[in-house]
Structure 1
């Protein structure tokens, strides 16, 4: 069994972040393999690869393992340029980047997650709530979810209003005025597309097609495009953890390393023992290894998949992550 294009996605079905990457792959027609994961820790398939990072999805291309969907989409654009969906320059590229930061860094995505109805079966599971409390670093219960719901509704209504009254106000089909959905649409749409599948998440008297017809029409067009792409494309190859690990550790590296930006303020050298962790969620899980590359927008470290006695490389974006020498990284954030 092989991984098409060397791509393996570790995820679980209801992750909105995984959905973002899967939708991208489907629209591109890029064949891939997937290794399904538990929705709570532990995840032994990833631990066996030397990955401490606890967020989902995780993507491997060959022996390079990518963490954070912002980095994954960029790497898929770069490594598979034929048929890429991203803008190439000018105003459209700027809008694409701003949509990325507005939705992911600006809080839209987390507000959408905050609209999960407290009655959902998964929110009745104490193990899930305990796991997400560790993930978020703050108390989590059905009560705290209910308490936060009014603010989440206000924030998401504001996001719908922004799209309705600006980018989509002129009646365009796609945010960058392309013939079909582009990376700009994917950057903007994923939390809205995800939350609309959840019955009871949005109060219809506040957020519905009646108040925001252009946004709802846009989401429907996007879904139809995904369905058409799915119908004409190949299905994901299913892998268990053992098969995925063997394929990754037996592959070549997708990228070369060895680059350090001389002016980087951290003053780290190639081969330095470092650790990397996210600053917003999952921050108690630190990945450690030898520094392979450090640029203004990415950090790469080498670690070992002990089970297969193979080196793998973990890639993280700089934005939203902290990099430190291993000896000093235990300090409080």
Structure 2
């Protein structure tokens, strides 16, 4: 198997989700640091436009969205499983809720003035301004939830989670699953990146104990890698074959078509390429870039739209 390469930056909550999965599964990986805001030329050379963080690269295969990245990592390691057999559907559903509703409320709470002051401590005003503009563009102009609304919603979600953790170590029992990692990362940001606001967690002490338990997994074994070297590895590699993938056609778009895939909300930058696979759970595009060579870019079905590219 080619090396696991994660394109990310330290303050990214979703990247922390995957870094912690690496730790739980005791995996070795390469770390490529990317910019927090656009432009991200080295990353988009691999993805064709997708810019959300993180992105997993395995040779010439590029995996977008932590939902898909978790599925891929789970198949590559026998250390535990992120998807318990008896509760796979429930765990995945809770993870989806945590990655969307809980994350949205938590980050709106975290980015009130006291939190912004800590996240950007010592940064020039133009850096803060660029970040705000970048995230507004990612929301497609939709307003951010007001901190006063986010506070009450976040507290409600924390109480629900505390109830799930009653008399058990993790959300679904004695071992962590994908729901634990999805719930952890926005709370991690509150605790570790905006500690002035972390008092909201004190009302749910079993969540604090659970967070310590999760953090103890660490981040696995990582080594730094330059973006140029990651691109070179992609150029030298050949994407894994998708010829045996079962084609699930829900769009009336045949394989080999030139298509566009984009997130259905937040970070709407499209990726164009040749549709080479459409399974029950993912789409795969083949595209060629001068820097990255020929790659396959993979997306989960949930959260993404597929359509034919304009002629």
TM-score of the alignment, normalized to the shorter chain, above 0.5? yes
Q: Structure 2 residue aligned with 1:71, among 46, 68, 89?
A: 68
Q: Structure 2 residue aligned with 1:242, among 228, 235, 243?
A: 228
Gaps of 5+ in 1: 329-333
Preserved contact between residue 47 and residue 297 of structure 2 (Cα < 8 Å): no
* Separation in structure 2 between the aligned mates of residue 295 and residue 12 of structure 1, nearest angstrom: 30
Tell me which residue corresponds to 1:306: 290
* Separation in structure 1 between the aligned mates of residue 171 and residue 2 of structure 2, nearest angstrom: 29
Question: What are the residue-to-residue correspondences of 1:20-99 with 2, within 5 Å?
Answer: 20-49=17-46, 51-78=48-75, 80-90=76-86, 92-99=87-94
1:247 Cα shift? 1.1
- SS, match of residue 5 in structure 2: strand
- Does the C-alpha gap of structure 1 residues 127 and 61 become closer, same or farther in structure 2, counting only changes over 3 Å? same
Question: What are the residue-to-residue correspondences of 1:119-158 with 2, within 5 Å?
Answer: 119=114, 120-121=116-117, 122=120, 124=125, 125-138=128-141, 148-158=146-156
**Is 1:290 paired with 2:274?**
yes
Deviations 1:174-211 (A, max 9, x none): 22222x53434213322222222112234x3xx232x2
| Length, aligned pairs only | 301
**Is 1:208 paired with 2:201?**
yes
Tell me which residue corresponds to 2:210: 218
**Is 1:317 paired with 2:300?**
yes
- SS, match of residue 307 in structure 1: coil
* Separation in structure 1 between the aligned mates of residue 264 and residue 213 of structure 2, nearest angstrom: 35
1:320 Cα shift? 1.0
1:255 Cα shift? 4.8
* Separation in structure 2 between the aligned mates of residue 58 and residue 81 of structure 1, nearest angstrom: 18
Query: Displaced runs of 4+ in structure 1, greater than 4 A?
Result: none
* Separation in structure 2 between the aligned mates of residue 130 and residue 189 of structure 1, nearest angstrom: 27
Preserved contact between residue 273 and residue 286 of structure 2 (Cα < 8 Å): yes
Preserved contact between residue 258 and residue 270 of structure 1 (Cα < 8 Å): no
Preserved contact between residue 289 and residue 301 of structure 1 (Cα < 8 Å): yes
- Does the C-alpha gap of structure 1 residues 84 and 254 become closer, same or farther in structure 2, counting only changes over 3 Å? farther
* Separation in structure 2 between the aligned mates of residue 86 and residue 50 of structure 1, nearest angstrom: 26
* Separation in structure 1 between the aligned mates of residue 241 and residue 69 of structure 2, nearest angstrom: 14
Preserved contact between residue 261 and residue 271 of structure 2 (Cα < 8 Å): yes
Deviations 1:71-121 (A, max 9, x none): 10011112x14214223412x32331122122124x111111112232424
Gaps of 5+ in 2: none
